[in-house]
């Protein structure tokens, strides 16, 4: 996994892949999802025919003695399942660019984002429903269109976008756009902050990427349909959603269903998304994968985020006025045994891959725990309002591991954090794999975790006793714990810290109460064993009762 070179040294990205600078900005009127741009991706979609049962026509009664033909089957997840099975049985077909004018393919980012979907043309705007759908035109790097269909009363029909649905006034094309506009993705709107369905809650654009928003959140972290061979010493494969089906919601519906067909050289898959927006927006994912051939690693429920700097970083070396810059600041895990594990993210000089083994974990997620604007000082990016994304497992996931990949980066325009689940059993050709989980997009949630938590991690030098000079190898680690029962405990309570260090030495550890903030601070001095990274674990307890989650950290000398 190589690091991204400077922008002026890079070749143009393949179709459907934004450059690092482009992918973090918004498209049209929304903060559209960014695609992972650390590698050369192959994304996009073929314009597929709609899988629509024919609308029944009026027919004469059948002759006497002849059994009438059954009515057309209603479109549902089984329809998508059958199509995924059929697609997987045949050879993979790479996405083909649309027959777009050259000017469309050569649009820069600034001009492409000026192609704006007209809100008045939103899907379902003629119905008294809570949901609206808007669409992204193909063009720029999204030159391979996808197929979008609308399912109403069990019948699927292709959605055809006309040029009048878009505002072209600021694009200033040399030639007028065609009457029918090929599409690259869509976004959904809902009344989160007022009575009108104008608030964006989800966006699907590029490969299998999608993003979610709850109340008072702005886009940050992304989710993907699947990750294949991520972090291995081979070319990563990027599946893409070839076709979508949006189910028309009823007027009173507070949730919406989306079907999708996933495709890649290794597999085809049927997906069903059930989206319920709110303060905490939830997306239930049901998927069935049909393997064309085996893969080295199948990453389930992959999350993609960014961490440039936090409390554990040396701001003086960056020359940045902002104390922290990140979409997420930690990986949170709830194990099958009910233990909560918190791993602060870091941006070290080397690629880091960490694994957390378990059987049937309850959940994991990339969390933006720090919610103070003062800790970011960024009034444009609004990092303090970026959502956390939690994966709640459903059903039996078996044995495997939650894998965290941290890629060194020197800029916030790079997505450098990936987390997903990897099963223990190898994935083979012809295999059918069932997946089910629920995503939670939230800002503050007391149950993540329900007890005390680590709210800050800091790393610094320590002095040689009596000399006033910094120690050459020893480092001081400070961890602040807060919340749960800690707020009710006084300094005289016998709270203690359980600290474990591997590949190094714990020189000293002490626990301090901070009554003014109702926090407790662990101060630990550690000494590495040569150049080996130190692995640390700690939690607070009162007698034999754990008061906090388990804090884990890896520090490289």
Where exactly are the structural domains of the chain?
A: 26-52+72-215+237-293, 297-425, 453-555
Task: Calculate the average pLDDT of the chain.
Answer: 87
Q: What token pair was written down for 311? A: 């409390």
Q: Measure the CA–CA gap between 4 and 343, rounded to whole angstroms.
A: 25
Apex CA 406: angle with CA 21 and CA 23, to 5°? 15
Pairing of strands 240-247, 147-152: parallel
Comparison of pLDDT for 465 and 319, the residue scoring more: 319
Give the model's pLDDT for residue 24: 40
Give the model's pLDDT for residue 67: 52
Cross-strand pairs, 189: 132, 200
Pairing of strands 519-528, 504-514: antiparallel
Does residue 120 register a pLDDT over 90?
A: yes
Q: What token pair was written down for 44? A: 């996009």
65: left (phi over 0), alpha (psi -120 to 50) or beta: left
pLDDT category of residue 317 using cuts at 50, 70 and 90 = low
Give the model's pLDDT for residue 22: 38
Q: Could you report the per-residue pLDDT of 234-266, keeping only the tens digit for each? A: 999 999 999 999 999 999 999 999 999 999 999
Comparison of pLDDT for 321 and 15, the residue scoring more: 321
Does residue 134 register a pLDDT over 70?
A: yes
Does residue 539 register a pLDDT over 90?
A: yes
Q: Could you report the per-residue pLDDT of 62-108, keeping only the tens digit for each? A: 444 445 545 556 999 999 999 999 999 999 999 887 677 778 878 88
Strand ranges for 155-255 from DSSP E: 155-158, 161-162, 166-167, 180-181, 183-190, 199-205, 209-212, 222-224, 227-228, 240-247
- Report the share of the chain in percent with pLDDT over 90: 74
Q: Measure the CA–CA gap between 557 and 555, rounded to whole angstroms.
A: 7
Q: Measure the CA–CA gap between 37 and 4, rounded to whole angstroms.
A: 9
Give the model's pLDDT for residue 96: 81
Apex CA 171: angle with CA 170 and CA 174, to 5°? 130
Q: Which residues contact 23 (CB under 8 A, 6 or more apart)?
A: 34, 35, 37, 413, 415
Buried b (16+ CB within 10 A) or exposed e, 361-378: bbbbbbbbbbeeeebbeb
Q: What token pair was written down for 161? A: 């976008």
Comparison of pLDDT for 71 and 218, the residue scoring more: 218
DSSP letter string, 31-85: -PPPPP-SS--------PPP--PPPPPP-PPPPTTPPPPPPPPPPSHHHHHHHHH
Does residue 469 register a pLDDT over 80?
A: no
Return the minimum-mean-pLDDT range out of 210-219, 363-372, 427-436, 465-474. Answer: 465-474
Give the model's pLDDT for residue 71: 53
Q: Are 477 and 526 in contact (CB under 8 A)?
A: yes
Work out the burial of residue 493: count CB atoms within 10 Å of its CB; fewer than 13 is exposed, 13-18 middle, 19 or more buried. middle
CATH classification number, 453-555, choose in 2.60.40.2470, 2.40.30.30, 1.10.630.10, 2.60.40.10:
2.60.40.10
Q: Half-sphere exposure of residue 374, counting CA atoms within 13 Å on the CB side?
A: 0
User: What's the CATH class of domain 26-52+72-215+237-293?
Assistant: mainly beta
Does residue 40 register a pLDDT over 70?
A: no
Give the model's pLDDT for residue 25: 35
- Report the share of the chain in percent with pLDDT over 70: 86
Q: Could you report the per-residue pLDDT of 136-178, keeping only the tens digit for each? A: 999 888 888 999 999 999 999 999 999 999 999 999 888 888 8
Give the model's pLDDT for residue 185: 97
Q: Are 346 and 406 in contact (CB under 8 A)?
A: yes
Instruction: Average the pLDDT over 111-118 and give the result.
Output: 93
Which of 305, 179, 224 shows the shortest CA–CA distance to 41? 224
Which of 33, 35, 31, 57 shows the shortest CA–CA distance to 44? 35
Apex CA 556: angle with CA 302 and CA 304, to 5°? 15
Instruction: Average the pLDDT over 465-489 and give the result.
Output: 89
Instruction: Average the pLDDT over 49-74 and give the result.
Output: 43
Q: Which residues contact 213 (CB under 8 A, 6 or more apart)?
A: 192, 199, 200, 201, 202, 219, 277, 281, 387, 441
Q: Could you report the per-residue pLDDT of 421-439, keeping only the tens digit for each? A: 999 999 999 999 999 999 9
Q: Could you report the per-residue pLDDT of 340-398, keeping only the tens digit for each? A: 999 999 999 999 999 999 999 999 999 999 999 999 999 999 999 999 999 999 999 99
């Amino acid at each position: 996994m190589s690091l991204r070179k400077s922008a002026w040294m890079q070749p143009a990205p393949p179709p459907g892949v934004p450059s690092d600078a482009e992918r973090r900005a918004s498209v049209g009127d929304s903060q559209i999802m960014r695609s992972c741009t650390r590698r050369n991706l192959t994304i996009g979609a073929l314009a597929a025919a709609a899988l629509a049962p024919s609308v029944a026509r009026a027919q004469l009664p059948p002759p006497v003695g002849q059994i009438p033909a059954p009515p057309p089957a209603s479109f549902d997840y089984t329809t998508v399942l059958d199509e995924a099975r059929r697609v997987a049985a045949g050879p993979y077909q790479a996405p083909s660019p649309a027959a777009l004018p050259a000017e469309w393919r050569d649009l820069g980012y600034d001009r492409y984002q000026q192609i704006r979907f007209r809100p008045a043309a939103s899907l379902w705007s003629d119905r008294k429903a809570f949901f609206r759908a808007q669409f992204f035109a193909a063009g720029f790097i999204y030159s391979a269109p996808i197929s979008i269909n609308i399912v109403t009363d069990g019948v699927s029909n292709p959605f055809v976008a006309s040029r009048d649905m878009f505002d072209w006034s600021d694009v200033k094309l040399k030639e007028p756009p065609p009457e029918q506009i090929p599409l690259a993705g869509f976004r959904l709107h809902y009344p989160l902050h007022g009575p009108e369905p104008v608030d964006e809650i989800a966006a699907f654009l590029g490969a299998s990427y999608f993003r979610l928003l709850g109340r008072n959140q702005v886009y940050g972290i992304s989710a993907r349909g699947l990750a294949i061979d991520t972090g291995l010493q081979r070319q990563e494969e990027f599946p893409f959603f070839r076709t979508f089906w949006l189910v028309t919601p009823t007027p009173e519906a507070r949730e919406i269903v989306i079907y999708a067909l996933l495709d890649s050289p290794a597999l085809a898959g049927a997906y069903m998304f059930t989206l319920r927006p709110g303060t905490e927006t939830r997306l239930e994912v049901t998927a069935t994968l049909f393997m064309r051939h085996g893969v080295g690693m199948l990453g389930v429920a992959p999350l993609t985020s960014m961490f440039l700097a936090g409390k554990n970083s040396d701001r003086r070396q960056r020359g940045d006025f902002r104390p922290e810059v990140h979409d997420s600041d930690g990986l949170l895990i709830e194990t099958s045994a009910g233990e909560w594990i918190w791993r602060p993210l870091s941006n070290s000089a080397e690629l880091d891959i960490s694994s957390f083994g378990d059987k049937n974990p309850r959940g994991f997620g990339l969390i933006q725990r720090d919610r103070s604007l003062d800790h970011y000082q960024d009034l444009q990016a609004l990092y303090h309002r970026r959502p956390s994304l939690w994966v709640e497992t459903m059903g039996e996931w078996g044995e495997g591991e939650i894998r965290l990949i941290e890629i060194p980066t020197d800029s916030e325009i790079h997505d450098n954090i990936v987390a997903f689940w990897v099963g223990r059993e190898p994935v083979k050709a012809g295999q059918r794999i069932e997946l089910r989980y629920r995503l939670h997009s939230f800002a503050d949630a007391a149950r993540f975790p329900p007890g005390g938590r680590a709210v800050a991690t800091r790393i610094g030098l320590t002095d040689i006793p009596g000399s006033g000079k910094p120690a050459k190898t020893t480092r001081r680690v400070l961890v602040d714990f807060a919340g749960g029962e800690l707020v009710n405990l006084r300094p005289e309570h016998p709270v203690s810290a359980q600290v474990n260090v591997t590949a190094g030495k714990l020189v000293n550890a002490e626990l301090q109460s901070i009554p003014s903030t109702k926090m407790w601070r662990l101060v630990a001095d550690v000494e590495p064993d040569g150049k080996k990274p130190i692995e640390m674990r700690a939690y607070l307890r009162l007698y034999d009762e754990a008061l906090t989650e388990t804090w884990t950290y890896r520090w490289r000398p």
